[in-house]
Amino acid sequence: MSVLKQRKQSMETKFARDGELEFHARIRAFRSLAAWARSENGGTSADEEAFVKALIREDMRQPGDEAALAVARDHLGGLVEDARLRAKLEEFTRDARSAAMLAKAS
C-alpha cells in the first residue's frame, strides 16, 4: 500500500472515530441536561428518559444546540431562563467532551 493510501485511510479512520466520540459526548450531555431538568421541575425518571429521547431525536433531525434548546424550553415550560438553559447545555457538552477525550486516551 502506498504511503498516500495509508495516510488517506488513517485520516478517514480518525474522522470516523472523532465523529463517533462527538456523538457519544452529545448523548452524554443530553443525559446530563435531562437529569438537571428533572431536578429543576421534579419530574419522574420516565419523564427524564422521554426528554433524552426527544433531545436525541431532534438533534438527529436538526443538529445543533438551537434545536436541543427548543426541545428543552418546551419540556421545562418556561421554568428556566434561556441564558441559564444555554449555559447548562454548554457546561454539560464541555464536560462530556472532556470525559470522551479521557476515555479515548485510556
Per-residue cell: 2: 502506498
pLDDT digits (tens, 9 = 90+) for 64-92: 899 999 999 998 888 889 999 999 999 99
Q: How far apart are CA 106 and CA 91, in angstroms?
A: 23
Q: Tell me the whole-structure pTM to 2 decimals.
A: 0.84
30 exposure class (CB count in 10 Å sphere: 0-12, 13-18, 19+): buried
Q: Is the pLDDT of residue 1 over 70?
A: no
Checking if the pLDDT of 100 tops 90, the result is no
With respect to residue 3, please indicate whether it lies within any of the assigned structural domains: no
Residue 1 located in a structural domain? no
Full residue range of the structural domain in which residue 29 is found: 21-105
pLDDT bracket for residue 102 (50, 70, 90)? confident
Provide the number of structural domains found in the chain.
Answer: 1
Kindly report, residue by residue over 11-33, the tens digit of the pLDDT: 999 999 888 999 999 999 999 99
